[in-house]
Amino acid sequence: MQEDVISLGRKGVDEEGYSEIPEGYEKGKVKYIVITGTVISGIGKGIFSSSLGTVLSCNGIKVAPMKFDGYLNYDAGTLNPYRHGEVFVLDDGTECDLDLGSYERFNNTNLTKDYYLTAGKIFKTIIDKERAGKYLGRDVQFVPHVTGEIKHFVRRLAVVSKADVVLIEVGGTIGDLENGYFIEAMRQLNYEEGKENVCFVNLGYILKPSSLGEHKSKAAQLGLRTLLSLGVQPDIVVCRSNLPIEEKIIQKISVSSNVPGNMVFNLPNLVSIYEMPLYLRQIGMDQAVIKSLNLNCRDHNDVLNFENWGKFVHTLKECEKTIKVGITGKYTELWDSYISIIKALEHCAPYRNSNVSIHWIDTTEVTDENVEEKLKGLDGIIVPGGFGSRGVEGKIKCVRYARENKLPYLGLCYGFQMAIIEYARNVLGWRDAHTTEVDRDTSHPVIDLLPGQRNINDMGGTMRLGGHNVLIREGSLAHILYGKTEIRERFRHRYEFNNKYLSDFVNRGVVFSGKAKHEDIMQILELRDHPFFVGVQFHPEYTSKPLQPSPIYLGFINACLKRKL
């Protein structure tokens, strides 16, 4: 029966169970873990999925993590950080959900577009096929066509990744209209692949109303009932909570979900998210999944293993020093807007026996009169990436303060451009110097559009995106930090330094220590007469990982520590 089901797609799209099978796919060769959430959003599905991938990887199992997002955007490129948090960029230029950043960091890997699926991407694929007549005149429906394309995307990742397990996080909460067809596709996947090849894990939140002082599981039970009503029987239930829950809560969840008590786990808040993989191992979560899918563990001597992860977590706990770093931006009310920067600082600090205390500075409120007060007591500042005019003048004032007061400075993308503008105004004397993104009529456009961006009106996916090689100047600070003359970092920008002014800057002390390999684009600037003043056109935080921290961030933290001493 199962073989008949899985072969339907091979017969053609006129079959009622349409499910196109990618070339080279073998049923049973790859296992699937499907992670869903109930009760409320924001309970940590992304970190849990990442941590489960870590603990399985440390057992020698090759994991391919992927994310389903229900919004109709094709990708995350045009989403406002206030609404969706940071836009994370993969090496191939895919603009995606910040959870993929967690996957990369926790699994010490680099992902591609094949690991990220949105409703917009699915529907565009379907409409393109329909317009091309690929469905042979069929009426195109959610079942079987939308669900079929979702399953095809999942199975194609199984083929291209050559993974033992494809770990699928379904975004949103069970009961959301926008993820219903993703859940249906996963139900069908379970039916077609066989129960022995698919493991459903559901995260639910156990509430503890302050007025009652005890945990209440009814909301979690109802969420599980909703999942069951969609035809999905979870194999494992994870009960998220602020504090550890009582055994009676475990029993109630077990009875209401048809899941054995030994497959219901409590995951309370931990001191650090980096403890989660070790905690999952401690409570036996990895072995539960391994047993459920009959996975084969093997020796794993790569960078990612329990010993190295344990050392990182231990070092994180034992840090004796603390530095104060200011992040000067305009999305400071929503920390998720700068989540990769926060994580890069967390990755690097333990390697220098230090914690990082982040101070948020809203640059829309910075003036000449209060900039000193705003930055007082800081050991360094970061000007992060961004777009548009809001908060720009405040950023430039922060840059000037850091340059003139020898305060360690790290400029990221927009921060690189703000450093150029500040130097042009206050050192070269061009008072109206600016970026044409903000002032098209400036007489000194020191930052201007990339040549390839001129005459482009479509905002989606039109920037210089993804990984590009950068040539490093020997003897520079960048060369000392990276230890290489060629590196690869990730970009997300439309504007660049205007090379018309190159000699003006160089003659007045600016060192351009990094440039694009195949284009005459300046990528790194630094000042020699400063303890640490570095601007980079790329985003080194995108490639920083707990076990492989960013050299630029390590250098910045070193400079902050020296200033503190």
The catalytic residue positions are 413, 539, 541
Contact 90, 100 (CB under 8 A): yes
Q: Which tokens sit at 532?
A: 């640490």
In angstroms, the first-to-last Cα distance of the chain is 71
Residue 198: HSE in the Cβ half-sphere, 13 Å Cα cutoff: 22
141/126 Cα distance (integer angstroms): 10
What CA dihedral angle connects 464, 466, 471 and 476, to 10 degrees? 100
Q: 106: how many CB neighbours lie within 10 A of its CB?
A: 28
Distances (CA, A) of 442 to 272, 417, 433, 448: 47, 15, 6, 11
Q: Which tokens sit at 254?
A: 């077990």
Picking from 184, 178, 180, 201, the residue whose alpha carbon sits closest to that of residue 31 is 201
Element holding 555 (H helix, E strand): helix 551-564
488/490 Cα distance (integer angstroms): 7
Contact 110, 542 (CB under 8 A): no
327/15 Cα distance (integer angstroms): 56
Picking from 48, 44, 336, the residue whose alpha carbon sits closest to that of residue 205 is 44
505/511 Cα distance (integer angstroms): 8
- Left (φ > 0), alpha (ψ -120 to 50) or beta: where does 534 sit? beta
Strand 533-536 relative to strand 236-241: parallel, antiparallel, unpaired? unpaired
